[in-house]
A and B are shown apart, each in its own frame.
Chain A
Amino acid sequence: MVSTVVTRAARTPLEVAAEVRDPEMPMLTLHDLGVLRGVDQHGDEVVVTITPTYSGCPAMAAMRDDLVRSLAEEGYAATVRVALSPAWSSDWITERGRAALHEHGLSAPGPAPRRDGPVPLTLLGVRRALGCPRCGSARTALTSEHGPTACTALYRCEACGEPFEHVKEI
């Protein structure tokens, strides 16, 4: 006999966790930002692993609470763990994440710097060829390497005059 009870297809813990959003850049899911490192289910318990973008990232507690809450709403008891290594890289932002940044007026990071030997000193400032996420002009200028959050730099478009944030390459 086939059960006639219609149940909503249960979402997996991974599906739930992957949709939780970053508190500082809410156009990005934690998955798209690349800070969601793993979702493991052991019986009834779900263990979610996240990694901070920067050592002093103040959003970790908010991310943890949002993950626990979202999973609880789907009936999962979750624990959130921190993985420090490998260190987060802006290269981990997904293509969908980059599109979402652009759509919301933020400029996505280029490739993270690679090196052999000591970290090079850059006294002339980081050179980036950025297009304005609003009007598309290439006439953009750096205002400050340090933007309103640890992971962004501040730029200004000289064509449309609007400021915009650029997610830094690390």
Chain B
Amino acid sequence: MSDSTAGNAYDGLAEHHAVVGDDAHWAFGSEVEDPLAGVDTTVPDDVDPRVLATYCLMLGDDALVAAHRLSEWCSRAPDLEDDIALANTALDLLGQARLLLARAAAADPSVVPALPAGSPVPPEDALAFFRDAGLFRNVRLVELANGDFAHTVVRLLLHASVRLALLDRLRGSRDPVLAAIAGKGVKEVSYHRDYAGRWFLTLARGTDESRRRLLDALTALWPLRQELLEAHPVEVAAAEAGVGVDPRLVAAEIDVVLDQVLAVSGVDRPEVAPMVAAGGRAGRDGLHTEALSRMLAEMQVVARAHPEGRW
């Protein structure tokens, strides 16, 4: 580094390329080519790779879509501290998404969209940028437009409380890769849930206006919570194979946490019916609201326009 400062600012780049090699990166991904480099991704015996891959897509897509929505707050949050907090939360979830999508691709390469031969796009990025909405497996809760800050807080609380309970159990997954990803994620999502819980309390006990907005958000989002707690056939199969967790098993534990937040906030549990599945299909089946298509259009447009882009 010290040598390069004697020349111009670009010498460092030249030196980097000379020493590190493989200097052409796909223009839209991270520089680390394989987030699972060196990790043994062999699927455990008697586990259906398709089930494991689809299960990882569900957890990964929840994180990816939630991360993108949270990142939309960047430069728009109520104050600088929350701007940074939401961006950090988005970054954690994006990191989890990347690992989970990479794990899905390694378990069953057939889930990865086909790209032209010689494409520089790594599998997890192909999954993120080259699938249409109908192939995303996230719950609908995470895809809705952000709404106001109260909506973001309520959504993060509902999502993080379920995700934390699932990840905590997944540390014991028979798939060592998923177990390792969960082990890291637990520490991160604990922070997310605490952050959302504190803001929930603050808004509920704040002004009439903040409380009104919080209650509006809770009523609007509560019907979407059920989808996180229902067991999709893939989740059931993954649980039976010992690699996944049946969300029904953690429902009681999550209720304890939510009731604690509601009680200290002086807010009643909403009595609104869950949002129905359409023809028996919901987010986990690829049936989404219009909001996801719009979000993906923005998220994917540049990558799709330049699938061969390198720098």
Please list the residues of chain A having a beta carbon within 8 angstroms of any beta carbon in chain B: 47, 49, 52, 54-58, 60-61, 64-65, 68-69, 72-73, 80-88, 118-119, 121-126, 143-148, 150, 154, 170
Q: How large is the interface on B (under 10, 10 to 19, 20 to 34, 35 or more residues)?
A: 35 or more
Collect the chain B residues with CB atoms within 8 Å of residue A148's CB. Answer: 84
Contact B187 A56 (CB under 8 A): no
How many whole Å from A50's CB to the nearest CB in chain B? Answer: 10
| Cα–Cα distance between A159 and B177 once the two chains are bound (Å) | 47
| Cα–Cα distance between A8 and B91 once the two chains are bound (Å) | 44
Contact B92 A85 (CB under 8 A): no
22 sample A-B contacts, Cβ–Cβ < 8 Å, listed by A number: A47-B38, A55-B92, A55-B96, A55-B99, A55-B188, A56-B94, A56-B95, A57-B95, A60-B32, A61-B31, A68-B20, A69-B15, A85-B183, A87-B183, A118-B253, A118-B257, A119-B164, A119-B186, A123-B194, A123-B260, A145-B85, A146-B195
Q: Is the interface of B mostly helix, strand, loop or mixed?
A: helix
B197 on the A face (CB < 8 A): yes
In the complex with contacts A68-B20, A146-B85, A170-B187, A121-B165 CB distance below 8 A: no
Which of A56, A72, A73, A143 lies in contact with B92, CB distance below 8 A?
Answer: A56
A55 closest partner in B (C-beta): B95
B181 on the A face (CB < 8 A): yes
Collect the chain A residues with CB atoms within 8 Å of residue B98's CB. Answer: 55-56
Contact B39 A83 (CB under 8 A): yes
Contact A84 B39 (CB under 8 A): yes
Contact B184 A84 (CB under 8 A): yes
Contact A84 B99 (CB under 8 A): yes
In the complex with contacts A55-B181, A61-B31, A144-B85, A118-B165 CB distance below 8 A: yes
B177 closest partner in A (C-beta): A84
Contact A61 B32 (CB under 8 A): yes
| Cα–Cα distance between A143 and B181 once the two chains are bound (Å) | 30
Sample of 6 more A-B contacts, CB < 8 Å, known A61-B30, A81-B37, A118-B256? A52-B95, A56-B92, A61-B31, A69-B15, A123-B264, A150-B88
| Cα–Cα distance between A55 and B183 once the two chains are bound (Å) | 10
Contact A54 B38 (CB under 8 A): no
Contact B194 A122 (CB under 8 A): yes
| Chain B 152-182 interface residues, beta-carbon cutoff 8 Å to A | 164-165, 168, 176-177, 179-181
Collect the chain B residues with CB atoms within 8 Å of residue A123's CB. Answer: 194, 197-198, 201, 260-261, 264
| Cα–Cα distance between A33 and B257 once the two chains are bound (Å) | 33
Collect the chain A residues with CB atoms within 8 Å of residue B93's CB. Answer: 56
Contact A87 B253 (CB under 8 A): no
How many whole Å from B193's CB to the nearest CB in chain A? Answer: 7
How many whole Å from A129's CB to the nearest CB in chain B? Answer: 19
B16 on the A face (CB < 8 A): yes
Collect the chain A residues with CB atoms within 8 Å of residue B168's CB. Answer: 118-119
| Chain B 19-38 interface residues, beta-carbon cutoff 8 Å to A | 19-20, 30-32, 35-38
Contact A87 B91 (CB under 8 A): no
B81 on the A face (CB < 8 A): yes
Collect the chain B residues with CB atoms within 8 Å of residue A69's CB. Answer: 15-16, 19-20
Collect the chain A residues with CB atoms within 8 Å of residue B191's CB. Answer: 145
A151 closest partner in B (C-beta): B88
Contact A68 B19 (CB under 8 A): yes
Contact B38 A121 (CB under 8 A): no
Collect the chain B residues with CB atoms within 8 Å of residue A57's CB. Answer: 95
Collect the chain A residues with CB atoms within 8 Å of residue B94's CB. Answer: 56
Collect the chain A residues with CB atoms within 8 Å of residue B180's CB. Answer: 84-85, 87
B244 on the A face (CB < 8 A): no
| Cα–Cα distance between A64 and B20 once the two chains are bound (Å) | 9
B190 on the A face (CB < 8 A): yes
Collect the chain B residues with CB atoms within 8 Å of residue A83's CB. Answer: 38-39
How many whole Å from B65's CB to the nearest CB in chain A? Answer: 15
B185 on the A face (CB < 8 A): yes
Collect the chain B residues with CB atoms within 8 Å of residue A61's CB. Answer: 30-32
Contact B195 A55 (CB under 8 A): no
Collect the chain A residues with CB atoms within 8 Å of residue B256's CB. Answer: 118
Which of A82, A143, A145 lies in contact with B35, CB distance below 8 A?
Answer: A82
